Amino acid sequence: MELPKEEVRLEEKRLDDTIKLIRGKISVLGQELYDRDDKVLEFKKFMWDNRADMDPSELKTMMSDNDLEISMMMKKGEYLQKLYKIQNNPYFGRIVFSDGINKDNVYIGITHVTDDNNNYYVHDWRSPICNLFYDYEVGKASYMAPMGKIEGEITLKRQYTIKDGKLLHIFDNNTNIDDELLQEVLASADNDKMKNIVNTIQAEQNTVIRNTDDKNLIVQGIAGSGKTSVALHRIAFLLYKIENLNSNNVLIFSPNKIFSEYISNVLPELGESNTMQTTINDFLDMEIKEFRHVETFTAFIERSYQDREDYEFIKYKQSDRVYDDIDEYINSMCEKARFLDDLFMRDYSYTKSELDYMLNVRYEKFPLGERIKFMAEKISENNFNGSISRSKKIMRELYDRINIERDLVKIYIDFFNSRYSKIKKDISYIKNDKDMLHYDDACLYVYMKCKLYGYNYNTYIKEIVIDEAQDYSLGQLKLISKIFRNASYTILGDINQTINPYYRYESLEDIKKILPDSKYIELTKTYRSSEEIVEYSNRVLGLNHVTAIRRNKPVPVDEVVEGELNSQLRHDIEECKLHGKSIAIITKNQDECDKIYKMLSDTGISKIDNSSKKFNRKFIVVPVYMAKGLEFDSVIIYTDKNNKYTKDEKYLYYVAITRAQHKLIVYNQ
């Protein structure tokens, strides 16, 4: 329904006034920071010139005042950057809320804007009152303010499309799955990076984003439910909400480097700095010094689907049970630990029995490596005033006299030949190949190292996001939770998108075994794929609980049988161009990916493989296990007619299907 012209004119004037206010603030703030920068330089010169004439207390006071000045400058500089970003698109929504006494006219944007009297022109989307915009329709509503619960009524709820300072559309409606603006967003083509969803956050997503009552969240979200976007918006919210939390205190575990690149725009778009990102193999790589590299998860999956010769052994190494077996093995080693000789040096001496007492009684609660370290430190303290260099020398002497193997590689190999391993296997080959440790060995290797020598605790990271959690074992999550023991966790995944053939959760709620202080939440609506694509994907897995957003123009899923492949693909690519700007050909493995890339090399197609760090989303060919988390306007699923997805690979096939937004073409299936 169109608004009266007079009301549209008032909205246009409000937008112009807001933009003028922001640009005025940019000018004033920019000049202020420029002037203060000169003052800081003058202060530094003054301090240097007069350093000899100042007493220590005076110097300390002046330095403290200067540090405070610099801190204020940095905060204002950060705010200036935010104003630059929003100056041509200052807000996206508006509510009018009355509590019976006051009526608040709340415009909502990426960051706050106030006038000279500190009246809000724009509220930050993360502020308490803005929760009304996401959780309520017109009518009775409430929100939690610092002073307590505020109840009242929303009398108006409005959304805007603003581009380059111009008001393009105004929607008077409720933010729900039938929302006009949401439909417009879903139908539009994207660029190579994930965009923020701040103007279309749905109520079920908002419950995850704004949750501060629970230490840890475990989120099961179907394909296209916005899991990753929700996690990133949650980080932006926590950075706003939690005092002294900054982006350097946050770590995101991504499935691969392509995905990390794909999501890299979201936090900057929300006015926050990017956080640290890693992958599980890079994380393990940091803990392993004996090998040059750790095999990536995607390389492991490629290897697994090509060669099932060691299926049962790899399944055992990926299981939860193997960690209990390693515990028993290491405990047995520690129980047998004894010193073979006295420690007799020129300046000090300890008998074998004295050393055994320290090892197995005084420090028995600690990992074996830490016991040796504590013993060395104690001996150094008693004889050399705690000298660090002496402590290191004593530790070497202690290791030379104990009956424990020090070579961790050999210890790891020996475990799989011991009675504690449920499947015995000779893996001595790994000691000769120090270039790369297999993915299925890496976590076990680090876990064994930690059991022997203690965990390398990280207390600096306070918030951790783990995406695509369905492909992490409980053992991997346990290791991460031990190392980052002070962190809170947001763990997201979808058991229906499990691509690890050796490990599968019945429910992500199983993660509570590792993180009992967790709330489990399900996201059940998909905002990515058309209804036709969702219905097709539901049939593959036999699902009936997934709902989709109805698009205006139904587009059927096409199933085709390979003919003359080159001409057929080129024809279907042209068909896909009618449904959006981004197209992906998703193959089952890397060999098929290479084949298609070579065939279509003259079309401008890009290829994604395990070494890729960036990609051009416009037109790519990619193996399915590298496509996780990505989305495209159109998808062509190609498998060789002799290499169809089997029933055992249905989850892999499901991942491929659910990358498509508007158009899906399936070959040979």
**Separation in Å, CA 409 to CA 119, 397, 445, 446, 461:** 65, 21, 8, 11, 29
Q: Which residue in the block uniquely carries the two structure tokens 């920068």?
A: 37
Give 639's pLDDT tier (boundaries 50, 70, 90): very high
**pLDDT tens-digit series, residues 519-542:** 999 998 888 888 899 999 999 998
Tell me the average pLDDT across 162-184. Answer: 71
Residue type at position 227: K
- HEC states along 353-401? HHHHHHHHHHCCCCCHHHHHHHHHHHHHHHHHCCCHHHHHHHHHHHHHC
Q: Where are the alpha helices (DSSP H) in 149-296?
A: 180-187, 203-209, 227-241, 257-262, 266-269, 280-287
- Residues 607 and 78: their CA atoms lie apart, in Å, by 38
Q: CA torsion angle for 574, 578, 584, 585 (degrees, to 10)?
A: -40
Q: Is the pLDDT of residue 76 over 90?
A: no
- Residues 370 and 390: their CA atoms lie apart, in Å, by 17
- Residues 645 and 176: their CA atoms lie apart, in Å, by 36
**pLDDT tens-digit series, residues 495-512:** 999 999 999 999 999 999
- The winner for highest mean pLDDT among 186-200, 289-303, 479-493 is 479-493
Locate the DSSP E strands across 497-546. Answer: 518-523, 525-526
Residue 505 and residue 476 in contact, taking contact as beta carbons nearer than 8 Å: no
Q: Is the pLDDT of residue 566 over 80?
A: yes
Half-sphere exposure of 614 (CA within 13 A, CB side): 3
Residue type at position 72: M
Q: Is the pLDDT of residue 60 over 80?
A: no
Q: Is the pLDDT of residue 183 over 90?
A: no
Query: Given this model, what pLDDT does residue 175 score?
Result: 44
Count of CB atoms situated within 10 Å of the CB of 236: 23
Count of CB atoms situated within 10 Å of the CB of 159: 24
Half-sphere exposure of 428 (CA within 13 A, CB side): 3
Residue type at position 469: A
Give 553's pLDDT tier (boundaries 50, 70, 90): confident
Q: Which two tokens stand for residue 423?
A: 């499947």
- Residues 417 and 426: their CA atoms lie apart, in Å, by 7
More confident residue, 87 or 39: 87
Q: Is the pLDDT of residue 39 over 60?
A: no
- The β-bridge partners of 492 are 219
Torsion sign (Cα): 536, 537, 540, 546: negative
Number of helices (H) and strands (E) in the chain: give both, helices first: 22, 25
Q: Is 470 helix (H, G, I), strand (E, B) or coil?
A: helix
Q: Is 643 helix (H, G, I), strand (E, B) or coil?
A: coil
Query: Given this model, what pLDDT does residue 43 score?
Result: 53
Closest CA to 494 of 630, 662, 628: 628
Q: Which residue in the block uniquely carries the two structure tokens 């306070």?
A: 462
- Residues 665 and 271: their CA atoms lie apart, in Å, by 38
Q: Which residue in the block uniquely carries the two structure tokens 């950075």?
A: 239
Q: Which residues of 123-155 are buried (b: 16+ CB within 10 A; e: fewer)?
A: bbbbbebbbbbbbbeeeebbbeeeeeebebbbe
The helix, strand and coil proportions of the chain, stated in percent and rounded to the nearest 5, come to: 45, 20, 35
67-71, 309-313, 585-589: segment of lowest average pLDDT = 67-71
Residue 628 and residue 654 in contact, taking contact as beta carbons nearer than 8 Å: no
Q: Is 464 helix (H, G, I), strand (E, B) or coil?
A: strand
Looking at residue 244, what DSSP letter applies?
A: T
Tell me the average pLDDT across 458-473. Answer: 95
Q: Which two tokens stand for residue 619?
A: 């037109």
Tell me the average pLDDT across 156-174. Answer: 88
Give 610's pLDDT tier (boundaries 50, 70, 90): confident
**pLDDT tens-digit series, residues 98-147:** 998 989 999 999 999 999 898 999 999 999 999 999 999 999 999 999 88
Q: Which residue in the block uniquely carries the two structure tokens 């020996």?
A: 414
Mean pLDDT score of the chain: 89
Query: Given this model, what pLDDT does residue 256 score?
Result: 87
Q: Is 609 helix (H, G, I), strand (E, B) or coil?
A: coil
- The winner for highest mean pLDDT among 20-34, 66-80, 466-480 is 466-480
Q: Which residue in the block uniquely carries the two structure tokens 């933010």?
A: 175
Percent of the chain with pLDDT over 90: 69
State the pTM of this model: 0.88
Query: Given this model, what pLDDT does residue 104 score?
Result: 93
Closest CA to 498 of 262, 311, 223, 284: 223
- H or E element that contains 590: helix 590-599
